[in-house]
Amino acid sequence: MSAWKRICCAVDFSEPARAALARAAELARREDADLLLVHVYEVPQPATELLVATADLTGPAAEVAERSLAGWLGDAERLRGGPVRHRILAGQPALEVAQLAREERCDLVVVGTHGRTGVRRLVLGSVAERIVREAHCDVLVARPAA
């Protein structure tokens, strides 16, 4: 019996996320596990104290995420060979993915990595690394093919 019955795959619509999706769908198919596809978009923060409604900032980002995720969902269902659930969340990606994995009682989170090192990683941080630290379950970090 497999230890992975609920798999969460976090995508940011990048090439490394494609590798994560392929791996997550393969594992879900092979292990007969549920697959949950999630995208987290960060809510833009105004640089100054502007009077901008939150809906004005999040509405367009949510719409873009929904359109983008629709295509990825179709790919996930094709690769999985069955239905795939999906969620779109707003907030800090690593924290939101870890929280969703807990709420959904996921056994595995699959995420892609850009493989940045040095100053680029220090400046940009690593969402994948933060997910590894925050998640309550196993995390598989997938790299795109060389």
Q: Which residue has the higher pLDDT, 48 or 131?
A: 131
Region of 118 on the Ramachandran plot (φ > 0 left; ψ -120 to 50 alpha; else beta): left
**Residues 68, 122: Cα–Cα separation, whole Å:** 28
State the CB neighbour count (10 A cutoff) for residue 104.
16
Cα–Cα nearest to 7, from 73, 101, 74: 101
Q: What is the mean pLDDT of residues 37-46?
A: 81
The one-letter code for the residue type at 9 is: C
**Residues 58, 89: Cα–Cα separation, whole Å:** 11
| 117 CB burial (10 A radius; 0-12, 13-18, 19+) | exposed
**Residues 43, 137: Cα–Cα separation, whole Å:** 26
Cα–Cα nearest to 25, from 64, 81, 65, 74: 81
Band (43; pLDDT cuts 50, 70, 90): confident
Contact (CB, 8 A) for 100 and 89: yes
The pLDDT value recorded for residue 139 is 96
Name all domains of the chain by residue range, CATH numbers in brackets.
6-142 (3.40.50.620)
Is residue 36 helix, strand or coil? strand
Which tens digit of pLDDT belongs to each residue from 88-138? 999 999 999 999 999 999 999 999 987 656 544 443 458 899 999 999 999
The one-letter code for the residue type at 24 is: A
pLDDT over threshold 50, residue 54: no
The pLDDT value recorded for residue 8 is 98
